[in-house]
Amino acid sequence: MSTALHFREFGNPDGPAIIFLHAAGTTGWMWSEHCARLQEYRCLVPDLPGHGDNRKIDWVDARHAADLVFESLLEGRHYDEVHLVGVSLGAYVGLELLSRYQHDIGTATLSGLNILPVPDRALLRAVSTLSTPLFRLWPFARLNAKMLNIPDEKVAAYCNAARRTSLAALHKATLEALSYSPPNNLDEISVPTLILVGENERELMHTSQRVLVKTMPNALAGVARDGGHAWCMEAPELFADALRRWVDCGTVSPGIRALETWSRTSNAA
């Protein structure tokens, strides 16, 4: 069975390419509204292993997923520019892509990423083991959507995407996130990277963000006002604007609070 990832393309085929990596338990569907707002770019949207159209491909770990994204979307292809976007699970895969293939990537935007030890990890692992079999059930999926503050008009589509997720992949990915160890070459990643977090996310995410921007030489931290872990779906217009400004100009959207003054041009020099 081929391990090439299925992906969809939207927007301008001659524009700068942006690879969108989705969260766990959903599919590339979550980027539909963003791609519609970013028609000037060539939007490349894969389903990650174990999800959606690629649910029959085993989820191994974020590093393996990064290799598959590179082989399926980047290797042997020629784009004038390539930019990377990842949220939650997609952010872990994105960080691995930066670690291994940074010379193929112009900028990165990562949100909802934790690289620090998780308190009560054993308890959370047990909860994941018990709850994963329920994930695709409609009432459970709706509850999860509400906990993530998914807008009401998107809940049904979110639940449908959840039902197309391999439970084995979801469980393995969740356990990996609880024990994730970042690449050991973070200080060598020179790609201009916007590390985002929702204002209402757990403090652990905020602390992790600060560690990342202190370690990665060309990283900037930004906080989405009033946002939760799924703020990209709560406020797709803001997320699209933040992405456009970062890709085109290296500046931060007014809706994002930057934690320091930063210039992509001067830092990357």
Give the start-to-end residue ranges of the domains of the chain: 7-268
**Residue listed under structure tokens 């509400």:** 146
Judged by average pLDDT, the poorest of 127-141, 177-191, 192-206 is 127-141
Contact between 253 and 241 under an 8 Å Cβ cutoff? The reply is: yes
CA dihedral for 149, 154, 155, 161, sign (positive or negative):
negative
pLDDT band for 269, please (50, 70, 90 cuts).
very low
First-last CA distance in the chain: 44
Dump the DSSP string for 112-149. S---SPPTTHHHHHHHHHHHGGGTTSHHHHHHHHHHTT
Judged by average pLDDT, the poorest of 9-23, 39-53, 149-163 is 149-163
pTM as predicted: 0.94
pLDDT band for 260, please (50, 70, 90 cuts).
confident
pLDDT over 70 at 240, yes or no: yes
pLDDT over 90 at 109, yes or no: yes
54-69 burial, b if ≥16 CB within 10 A, otherwise e?
bbebebbebbbbbbbb
C-alpha to C-alpha distances, 138 to 9, 18, 77, nearest whole angstrom? 29, 32, 40
pLDDT of residue 138: 85
Cα–Cα nearest to 10, from 18, 83, 109, 2: 18
* Average pLDDT, integer, range 61-69: 98
* Average pLDDT, integer, range 85-114: 98
* Average pLDDT, integer, range 231-258: 95
pLDDT band for 251, please (50, 70, 90 cuts).
very high
pLDDT over 80 at 264, yes or no: no
pLDDT of residue 2: 56
Q: Is 193 strand, coil or helix?
A: strand
pLDDT of residue 78: 85
| CATH topology (fold) of 7-268 | Rossmann fold (3.40.50)
Instruction: Tell me which H or E stretch contains 7.
Output: strand 7-11
Residue 9, strand partner residues? 44
**pLDDT over 90 for what percent of the chain?**
82
